[in-house]
Amino acid sequence: MIKPIKGFSKLSKSDKIEWIAATYFSDANAAKQAIKQYWNDDQKLQQLHDEFIENTISNYYLPFGVAPNFLINGRLYTIPMAIEESSVVAAASKAAKFWLDRGGFKTEVISTTKIGQVHFIYSGDVDKLNAFFKFVKPKLIEDTKNITKSMEKRGGGTLEIELKDKTSDLENYYQLHATFETLDAMGANFINSCLEQFAKTFKSEALHFDEFSESESYIQIVMSILSNFVPDCLVRVEVSCPVEDLSDNPSKSSDEFAHKFVRAVKIAEIEPYRAVTHNKGIMNGIDAVVLATGNDFRAIEAGAHAYASRNGTYSSLSHAEIEDGIFKFWMEIPLALGTVGGLTNLHPLVKVALEMLGQPSAKELMQIVAAAGLAQNFAALRSLTTTGIQEGHMKMHLMNMLNQLHATASEKETMVTYFKNNTVTHSAVEKALSKLRMLASEN
């Protein structure tokens, strides 16, 4: 029976590994070898990675790929992507190349404001609370000047603070709802620091507000935290072309493809079961670029899916239409990104990614990421409405299967050639490889 361990965080890295290997693995030496094989030989670089999080024992590698030929607002990009899923980078690259000759991606940042809230409980007279908020609001701004000074110099800072009455949803529940502009920083630490000071000032000033009774002066702060739902930190991305230019295959009708594509998007708009998978495809492209550029893909995911549900039911993030012979495919999506602070200044590959993109501002990065998401969605829908998703995906997945079956370099070459004209399934790959090996042994 495994017993709890005390003081694990105080153990050295080697001692942590020794304990884990001895406690959880039948072959402790093999486990230690698997963990240590991903250590970086450069000790300074390894220490940098060790200090990103707590209780580090190794590095977890993801492929770092690139998708070239993205024409965005007339500028050509090669987009870095960090992801493990087969076919994502290939699909994004293929979509980028397709739209390169059709005007590329048009993008626009609609807004960049972010949200934070102080959640509190108050059981007194609401009119008195409104009067107190009007009185204390300038003080809230003033007491955060030491936090916002640098941000304000660059054009950002706190934009507005509102008092919101949420008592119809939860008894005695109110909030200070604040909007911020954080420019090229994602701004989580900045926003949370401001919110905590708002809460401190709000609570302390209430004790001295003349209109409050003794009980009313007691305001219980529940928590102060930014929101990852940022419906006003919004970017729009679009591609369009004449319907007759939509098919690059002479044997396939552009008109039929266009109408089938639009119908597929409409299904995702009204059917949540389809919409979730549809939007997951968008996030394949978005998350890969967000991760490669050192941003928080979990926050982006949460915000995007909340936005997809903003009208009361979960729906497609992207939309399509045909109007006056023009096919148009577009998306609006919230993306709270940063190009300064956090891992952007620390992780060597993040620095490479950002330099590859021309050291973009946060607004520029929003547009690049959105284009990657729409490209991924276009590629997926194009496959779904023509050849089917599995043909291309399984061919990309072929190499993973061959690696699982310990294929040699020459066996891989033969198998790739064979499956150019044959359906890829795990059983088919196993059978073909077994036959190849049998023939080789006979010779």
Q: Which two structure tokens, joined as six digits, stand for 390?
A: 């599995």
**Which pLDDT score is estimated for 399?**
82
Q: What phi, psi does 156 have (nearest 5°)? A: -110, -160
Select from 256, 255, 277 the least CA-distant residue to 267.
277
Whether 50 has a pLDDT exceeding 60, the answer reads: yes
Are 197 and 324 part of one and the same domain? Answer: no
In a domain, 55, yes or no: no
Count structural domains, the chain: 4
In a domain, 436, yes or no: yes
Are 22 and 36 part of one and the same domain? Answer: yes
Residues 220-230, mean pLDDT to the nearest whole number:
97
* Percentage, residues of the chain above pLDDT 70: 97
In a domain, 281, yes or no: yes
Per residue in 95-151, pLDDT (tens digit) is 999 999 999 999 999 999 999 999 999 999 999 999 999 999 999 999 999 999 999
Per residue in 80-93, pLDDT (tens digit) is 999 999 889 999 99
The secondary structure element, H or E, covering residue 139 is helix 126-143
Last residue of a domain, one of 368, 386, 404: 386
The secondary structure element, H or E, covering residue 407 is none
Structural domain of 17:
8-50
CA distance 369 to 290: 7
In a domain, 3, yes or no: no
Are 190 and 304 part of one and the same domain? Answer: no
Whether 432 has a pLDDT exceeding 80, the answer reads: yes
Are 125 and 184 part of one and the same domain? Answer: yes
Per residue in 386-396, pLDDT (tens digit) is 866 555 556 66
In a domain, 57, yes or no: no
Are 39 and 134 part of one and the same domain? Answer: no
Burial class (CB in 10 A: 0-12, 13-18, 19+), 80: buried
Mean pLDDT (the chain) is 94
In a domain, 17, yes or no: yes
Are 104 and 171 part of one and the same domain? Answer: no
Per the CB < 8 A criterion, the answer to whether 219 and 122 are in contact is: yes
Are 429 and 300 part of one and the same domain? Answer: no
Q: Which residues pair with 239 in a beta bridge?
A: 329
Half-sphere exposure of 311 (CA within 13 A, CB side): 8
- CATH number of the domain bearing residue 282: 3.90.770.10
Last residue of a domain, one of 226, 242, 274: 226
Question: Which sequence positions are flagged as catalytic?
Answer: 85, 280, 296, 393
Are 88 and 218 part of one and the same domain? Answer: no
Select from 36, 40, 44, 100 the least CA-distant residue to 67.
100
Per residue in 325-349, pLDDT (tens digit) is 999 999 999 999 999 988 888 899 9
**Which pLDDT score is estimated for 1?**
81
Are 256 and 378 part of one and the same domain? Answer: yes
Are 257 and 191 part of one and the same domain? Answer: no
**Which pLDDT score is estimated for 438?**
82
In a domain, 59, yes or no: no
CA distance 326 to 324: 6
Are 100 and 184 part of one and the same domain? Answer: no
Are 104 and 154 part of one and the same domain? Answer: no
Per residue in 172-200, pLDDT (tens digit) is 999 999 999 999 999 999 999 999 999 99
**Which pLDDT score is estimated for 428?**
87
CA distance 436 to 87: 26
In a domain, 2, yes or no: no
